[in-house]
A and B are shown apart, each in its own frame.
Chain A
Amino acid sequence: MQPGIDWAAVQAAAAWRLVVPRTPMRGRVGERLGAGTGSSLEFQDHRPYVPGDDLRHVDWKAFARSEVLSIRLYREEIAPRIDLVIDRSRSMVATELKQRAYGELVALLASASTSMSADTRLVTSAAAPPIPLHRPDEVQRFLDCDATSGAMEELGLQLRRQSMRVAVSDFLFPHDPDTIVGRLARDGASLAIIQLTTRDEAEPDVEGGRRLVDVEGRGELDVTIDARTVAEYRARFNRLRQGLSRAARRTGATFVHLMAGATPRQVARVLADAGILEPR
């Protein structure tokens, strides 16, 4: 049962949009400057006239100065490609709080993507084709997290070249951060990595004896959660987080760690601070 997403809060936070990278990118004809030559008003270069060129693009002022026919070239305008990579493993819904936070985060990102006339697709696994996203509420159909592994762990995700990529996961699975970040960033225009965990997952407290059962069926363990164990766990979790952060920096990606429990507005502000969102 999906806990209800606070769509009102998500809509209120929809005054944000994804930050488009300054580097040129690819995409369909749209309203963002692309890497190639196009028909925008932004001048890009000159080149000599060749028969067949549109006479309207001849730079007559330059011809007057130099008596050489030259053509004015303008930057193309494109609609950016956005690939939202989401983790649909069971760990994302380990608690109701995390499930709600996960749903609202994905809805916020979907809202920020669709509000900028982008070609947005939802990537959930390597096996399933990416799903075009036209409205934010369409993500609700993909928030049932019952897989035993997430998309981040899979090879061959169908990511588009020069697309803006946003990956959402808790990254609580054994991995090499450089490998996984490099895979997500390859041939992309930009990459934002958002790690979502609960407070107990990031900063557990002393609880005494517990039988820990992995929700993704990776085994169970009897552990006495004392101060020493907690300290060791926190150190291990911090190393995992810092590994992701370092790998993101190496590839020019953005990394942010979120804890479940914040409102969509607070989440949007944190993402804006990290350079993932910007005001419209």
Chain B
Amino acid sequence: MTQSPIDRIARATPAPLSRRIRGLSDRTIAWIFVAPTIVLLLAVNIFPLIWTVRLSFTNFRVNRPNNPVEWVGLENYRRILTDSDIWGTMQVTAHFLIWTIILQVLIGFALAFLINKNFRGNDLWTTIIVFPMMLSPAVVGNFWTFLYQPQIGLFNYAVSYLSCIPPDWLLTCIDPSSFSMIGDVGLAPWAIVIADTWMWTPFVMLICLAGLRSIPDFIYEAAECDRAGKWRQFWTITIPMVLPFLMLAVLFRGIENFKMFDLVVQLTGGGPGSITEVTSINLKREAFEKWRTGYSSAYAVILFVTIFGLASIYVKALNKVKDR
């Protein structure tokens, strides 16, 4: 296995025939190698995107292919941007986005900080903590509905159990059948935040851990010589050095959770009512249940532009932090 590549080359000196045909030029090879990827991406990503943009100016509906397709200009866009339901959906998404990021950053960083203390067996525990984020969000979301069942659900049982152990923080025991995380209008937005935090905190943790491990020891040693306290070291060395990593983690989580579909659709389906209807679920309803193809295409374009715009601004900020 460990033979050097030089040995391998020496052993497999090519036959005279292939020596004569020196093969294709680098330029040709470069094109042959890159072309299939570009063609596939154009066909499956870019072509549909252009089609979406085109459809967004029409009143086309997939379920009525025989209706005449009219060019309606920016009408779809105007209707979306003035629709109060869509702004409600945006607020739902914002609530989900902001809280998941806050919780994941806090818990993820804390975990990474603790793991970085290099206690024995930390590699093993890191791998175990990472499991949730590798799993299928739809299957996990579906199973969380079981954990959230009133009375029989493990989550409700745990909450009720914790509320009963002394000291009696809440002064009362919570009955596990008295609340429903996914059926209650006030709790459902938190049900999706909790499940997503459970699933994706390890992602932030891994990136923070890489950040913490990238800080060379000598910086802390120098600070120690200068008699800087632990607290001061934390705020003036650790945090600034980890910040670019943390911001990268927030970028990834932000994009992913803006697009969030599978976990939430299986967990609450957007309900009760439309309390947890994040934009992707809303878009799916417009496009594949109401079949307003033109309208939902405009919606899709707006979402894509928003994500792309926010991400670009953010990346600029990230680069500034990195350069500092």
The answer to whether A binds B is: no
